[in-house]
Chain A
Amino acid sequence: MKRFLSLTLSGALLLGALSGCAKIEDAKDSTEAAGTETAAAAGGKVVVYNWGEYLDPEVIDMFEEETGIKVVYEEFETNEIMYPKVAAGAISYDVVCPSDYMIQKMIENDLLQEINFDNIPNLKNIGEEYLSWSEEFDPGNKYSVPYCWGTVGILYNKAMVEEPVDSWDILWDEKYKDNILMQDSVRDALMVALKKLGYSMNTDSEEEISQATQLLIEQKPLVQAYVIDQVRDKMIGNEAALGVIYSGEAIYTQRENPDLEYVVPKEGSNLWIDSWVIPKNAQNVANAEAFINFLCRPDIALMNFDYITYSTPNKAARELIEDEDIRNSTIAFPTSDMLEGCETYQYLGDETDNIYNTYWNKVKSS
């Protein structure tokens, strides 16, 4: 038994040694960093809370080097998992990147502070239309700076779907039984049904939500799976013919599988924006502003666009995109007439949220 134990322990040690290689590199980094330590101490730090894989890591290095501000970086995977951590206030984040409706909720619950835009001159690079869209959840553009945006649409496989796709209706077509991927989140799933019915996706009418729910229950036997992120991998692997997906993934999936095509249905869809905000309990406000300003710089925004492939609201950065196909891609940068009928999610209050959740549960448990 002793051998047993020593074995595990030495196993763990060996693994530790394995990671030790990296630690040495780190140590090197930190001695290098020690040189700039004084600068960093002068610059202080900035605590960033962002979506997973939503920023080119090189950008952080560049920011640290240029400003001497140390970046403490943490990631989340959904707005909902981010919210309680910020709301609890145990950790004071300096910059957070929530989505539209969540920003509205945070404003209403008094979690955010107004941004002093004098310190963010690079805001001029952000396109006017994005700021006016933002007014839907942040009236007066006081609290947020747009970072990424996009639509929700249908990704379909040309080899499996012969007819033209331009409407949500196709997701109810018996022909594609077991070949349809739906989004596994309340608002995104109900949005599809609400739009198909011609209602607003921000409706608070229980009657309309109930009708949409009925549609989704009818659709359920045709659905292969409700997924969030696996739409991408499953579509690339030809597992399904049709999938509801975020536009940011479209460019990437097309690159991997040329049979795939993305379309925003004519009934309209969700237009979403993820923006930077500063929580009320932020400790390093000036650094937070410097960070946001840095991200609005065209070259930096371009680096991030190349890395995450989600559309950037940064006009100047878009000009810098070398690949003409992508610069003029209507997937990454849809024209305004394509966005007709699109809406941005709004925070509807806890009560309406509950109605949505209750009805969505009916779909899931049917």
Chain B
Amino acid sequence: MNKKKNPLLSGPYLVWTAAFIIIPLILIVYYGLTSSEGTFTWANIMEIATPENRKALWLALLLSVISTALCLIMAYPLAMILSNLKFNATGLIVMIFIIPMWMNFLLRTLAWQTLLEKNGIINMVLKFLHLPALNIINTPYAIVLGMVYNFLPFMLLPIYNSLVKMDRNVINAARDLGAGEFQTFTKIILPLSLPGVISGITMVFVPSLTTFVISDLLGGSKILLIGNVIEQKFKQGSNWNVGSGLSLVLMVFILISMAIMQKYDKDGEGAAF
């Protein structure tokens, strides 16, 4: 595209990012690096080293990696099936996978509670069929289920988009040259869809790492994730300094994981970061 800088084009969002992203960030850094009396300190950052917080961070990383992987495993085939649909209502089909997300997040998650509970709907059905009961409510499994459920569309849409406009000729050419289905997939389709995959991973990994509502509602608040810790610092003790310090640490973690991912995005065209 035109290499000339176009001030008309870059102006608005630069102003926007400065006013509503950079200034707030400076405020967080300020809070994160000062004590409640306003003197400089590393103590807020070091809070992450307490055994409780380390455990919460580790659990959050673990659960969000699992959820992201599950989302990817579920969304990729789904996106491929959808992008191969022949009839002209693909739009409709894609929308059908998005509309559930237009119901309120809290109501949806509460609905999962109603489904999964000991005397919940799923167990009522299982009992009726004389099958063993499903007891995953208030366990990490339910949290993963909640994350996958809520963030699946964020994986689906970008992958679907990168697949749907893929040049069919390239795929056909590969086939003509004798590539098997598996080879075509690993050598052609997957690499070409990589930007979409990376966008998807980012949009699923980050919110699942910082979530606290899902772990509260589906985990029975028995499992403390780093998102819950930060939430508590801000809410319970109104301790903004420690809260900001911890979220700075979390940001660093996210940036590192993005950087690792960027390595796999060879063109340096990283959609993520």
Measured CB to CB, the residues of A under 8 A from B are 3-4, 7, 78, 80-81, 83-84, 87, 184-186, 220, 223-227, 230, 234, 237-239, 350, 353-354, 357, 361-362, 364-365
Contact = CB atoms under 8 A, between A and B. Distances in A.
Given A353-B236, A365-B51, A365-B55, 9 more contacts: A3-B91, A7-B91, A78-B235, A227-B220, A354-B237, A357-B232, A364-B221, A365-B52, A365-B56
Nearest to A182: B221
A184 B223 CA distance: 12
A225 B138 contact: yes
Contacts of B55: 365
A365 B95 CA distance: 40
B236 A239 contact: no
The 5 closest A-B pairs by CB, nearest first: A225-B220, A226-B221, A365-B52, A364-B224, A80-B235
Given A225-B222, A362-B52, A365-B55, A237 B238 contact: no
B109 to A, nearest CB: 11
Given A237-B117, A239-B118, A239-B119, A365 B235 contact: no
9 contacts: A3-B91, A80-B236, A84-B238, A184-B221, A224-B138, A226-B221, A353-B236, A354-B237, A365-B53
B229 interface: yes
A237 B119 contact: yes
A362 B232 CA distance: 13
A238 B234 CA distance: 34
B182 to A, nearest CB: 32
Given A7-B91, A224-B138, A365-B55, A83 B238 contact: yes
A225 B216 CA distance: 9
- The secondary-structure label for the interface of chain B is helix
A87 B240 CA distance: 13
A81 B235 contact: yes
B163 to A, nearest CB: 15
B237 A361 contact: no
B193 interface: no
Interface string B203-235: 000000000000011001110100011001111
A198 B221 CA distance: 27
Contacts of A81: 235
Contact of B119 (A84, A87, A224, A238): A238
Contacts, number: 70
Given A239-B119, A365-B55, A224 B220 contact: yes
B36 interface: yes
A81 B235 CA distance: 6
A239 B56 CA distance: 28
Nearest to A1: B91
B248 to A, nearest CB: 19
A191 to B, nearest CB: 15
B247 interface: no
Contacts of B52: 361-362, 364-365
B226 to A, nearest CB: 10
A298 to B, nearest CB: 36
B150 interface: no
Interface centre among B36, B138, B222, B233 (most CB of A within 10 A): B222
Contact of B95 (A7, A224, A230, A364): A7
Nearest to B55: A365
B235 A223 contact: no
B244 to A, nearest CB: 13
B113 interface: yes
Contacts of A226: 220-222
Nearest to A179: B118
B239 interface: yes
A160 B52 CA distance: 35
A238 B120 CA distance: 10
A239 B117 contact: yes
A361 B229 contact: yes
Nearest to A8: B95
B92 to A, nearest CB: 9
Given A239-B117, A365-B224, A184 B238 contact: no
A265 B3 CA distance: 75
Contacts of A87: 238
